[in-house]
Structure 1
């Protein structure tokens, strides 16, 4: 069972994007279980007959391009974007039930990086992150964005620069913000 309070894989401290986690997605599904769950990517919505064909979790260890060790947990949800008969989009509750069934057999970290692998069965799989989550009409819509490559040392440097400039912007002499 998915344990949101005590993940079995250590949480990923190095996620540098505002990706939606599986825990946040499940919470939204739990809040609106009867609504159709629609994934939008590449300028269109996933077709009503889509399947969740695989859910997998991994703990990764790597060395980045700057020689720094990296470690993170990631969950992959594979979506097969097909039309099948007169099926409608699966409900948010059904999606949550699928993920929870997986969590009975596979340790899922609620805060892990979440990646969607999407294909229509003909075109190669494309990797996406969950970018935004919103109620759209009578649907719970998850907007997927292509997952770009990044340079972690550069990302950390940019994040540090942003914190420094936000923290150490000119302030009055009565109000020093940085230690």
Structure 2
């Protein structure tokens, strides 16, 4: 049985490669996706895995380009089924990769629906071992303003650089 150290994983919005690397540590464990405070039903299906290359112009007139992988989960209960194992999830992704080029570093988005409600978009956190299963918390993927996000990241970087151990006197004045 695999031993997993959950303390190293606290980031959200992981890539496909990070997800697969993590679940490879415990392929025999049930893989349970959590969203809106509840686990997916034991009969859930991975109904689609798709890769996209996007080009856009953001609200600051900056050209943007990125790769994104979408994993569609159909949250249904089918009889006496149990949650699929992490290994089965990996096998599904491997099968897809035989036909579709999957960039492991691409942004990972989960599309989840129960077949009645509209699809909702989520980002994923690192799987954590909990109650004998690997749980992946899915959080709603919000819209964002890329110029503002870059500005905030630059500001945070400047704050760290400016007020760190090697900061100059005028920097923190």
Which residue number in structure 1 is paired with residue 111 of structure 2?
Answer: 117
Runs of 4+ in 1 over 3 A off after TM superposition: 170-177
Report how many residues are paired.
161
Deviations 1:129-173 (A, max 9, x none): 002420111100100000000000000000011111111117568
How far apart are 1:176 and its partner, in Å?
10
Which residue number in structure 1 is paired with residue 47 of structure 2?
Answer: 53
How far apart are 1:70 and its partner, in Å?
0.3
State the alpha-carbon separation in 2 of the partners of residues 90 and 173 from structure 1: 51
- Contact 1:132/1:144, CA 8 A, preserved across alignment: no
State the alpha-carbon separation in 1 of the partners of residues 13 and 72 from structure 2: 17
Unaligned runs of 5+ in 2: 1-10
Residue 146 (1) aligns with residue 133 (2): no
The match for 1:74 among 62, 68, 77 is 68
TM-score (norm 2): 0.88
Which residue number in structure 2 is paired with residue 12 of structure 1?
Answer: none
State the alpha-carbon separation in 2 of the partners of residues 140 and 174 from structure 1: 46
